[in-house]
Amino acid sequence: MNKTKQMQNLIHRFRDETGKQSYEMREVVEFAVKMGWPVPEPKDPMEQLANEFSKAAREETRIDDKTGRAHRANLAVKTWHGGKQLTLWSDIDDAPRPFAHKSFQQRREQMVGDAVQLTVDVEHWNARNKNEEQIEMPLDFGPDVQYRLNADDDAEAA
């Protein structure tokens, strides 16, 4: 049995033994460690620092001169080099078109993947709860995007 399956089994055991339907994953980790699950070695400090810098780059925004809207200042592209996955970064204002296009495509693919999984999850819940009002989850984001693009800043905060 692989590590992921073992973790999933421990999550099931935690729920069975505690009777909790909702839980914070830290509770599961504490339970697992008490059950003998090994605590991992700390990350390589340079890798940890690179992750912190990546988070900072991902969160950086600037205001567009013409629209007044905040946009991400940096673009990321996942790529493989020498059998290892790397994330390459570029400033959005300096990124060559192929880099920007690949970054936007990768982000869109993440959204599609999330939408597919959301659809499967909603369909499953609806099938298991036929006596409940069925949950509908429209995936046409166009109206939502247009609404938010045109909303006042005060309306977005509400």
pLDDT in tens, 24-64: 999 999 999 999 999 998 889 999 999 999 999 999 999 99
Contact between residue 99 and residue 76 where contact means Cβ atoms under 8 Å apart: no
Domain ranges of the chain: 1-40, 45-91, 96-158
Q: With 90 as the cut, is the pLDDT of residue 125 above it?
A: yes
Contact between residue 27 and residue 14 where contact means Cβ atoms under 8 Å apart: yes
**What does residue 94 show for φ and ψ, rounded to 5 degrees?**
-110, -5
Say which DSSP state 96 is in: -
Write down the pTM of the prediction.
Answer: 0.75
